[in-house]
Amino acid sequence: MVAPLQREETHRVVRKYKKFKDYFFRLNMVTEQLDKLHFGHERMQPLLDFMIGILGNGLNFGGSSLDESYQYDSEIVNYSNSQLKSHSIWMIVKTKIPQIQLSKIISDLGEFDTNDEPLKMYARRGQCFTTTKFVTVLSSDEVRVIPDIKIKKEPGCTDPDGEYTFTDGCGNISIELGKLVNEKLGLYLCTAYQIRLGGAKGTLVCKPSLG
């Protein structure tokens, strides 16, 4: 089934490769009524196998048995956690353009621990595919990373880390930068923001003492 084109909220990766944005697409796996699929019955097994095949081998579309001139192959790039829950994934059409080879796109996202299990690795990459609205570019001297609070565990604890790490809480943002966010997004007197920055995600609140 082919539906009319519709605007799609972008994310960091599509914005980075906006010159080649037509090669990216989001595949959403739904029923004929456009509802989310459920797999509680054995009759759904063939469909589930088909979806697993797409995850492993990509998707072929276009062309026909008589004319393969407009036949394309695609492969999975990644997905965010929310997109995975709605059975959708971001894919890219295979091409010989060097700037948008899958290996280059992944390497440009940042450094990922190759020892991570596959699901954890995809989750880390997935932060780059979270739907966001661009506000501004920050230089390295405009960002300060605050170390996590760590407290040593009780004596005799056999845990190899030997300490508790507390990562919850909010970061800070200057009033000036907060005003810029409000202007860009059409907000009024907002002082707290959920952000994505360089692979990190969290909440920032305005702090008057920041320059």
pLDDT in tens, the chain (211 residues): 566 777 777 888 888 898 998 889 888 877 777 777 777 677 778 877 887 787 777 787 776 555 555 678 888 888 887 777 777 888 888 888 999 998 899 888 877 766 667 777 777 788 888 888 889 888 888 888 888 888 887 776 666 667 777 777 788 999 999 999 999 999 988 999 998 887 778 899 999 988 6
- Is the Cα torsion angle 128, 132, 137, 142 positive or negative in sign? negative
Same domain, 90 and 156: no
Residue 135 inside a domain? The answer is no
This prediction has a pTM of: 0.70
| Cα separation, 90 vs 103, whole angstroms | 15
Same domain, 148 and 116: no
Same domain, 30 and 125: yes
Same domain, 42 and 122: yes
Of the residues 129, 153, 171, the one at which a domain ends = 129
Structure token digits, residue 139: 């230089």
Residue 6 inside a domain? The answer is no
Q: In sequence order, which residues have a C-beta less than 8 Å from that of residue 167 and are 6 or more positions away?
A: 148
Residue 211 inside a domain? The answer is no
Same domain, 103 and 45: yes
SS3 call for 155: coil
| Cα separation, 72 vs 94, whole angstroms | 7
Please count the structural domains in the chain: 2
Domain extent, residue 48, equals 12-129
Same domain, 52 and 154: no
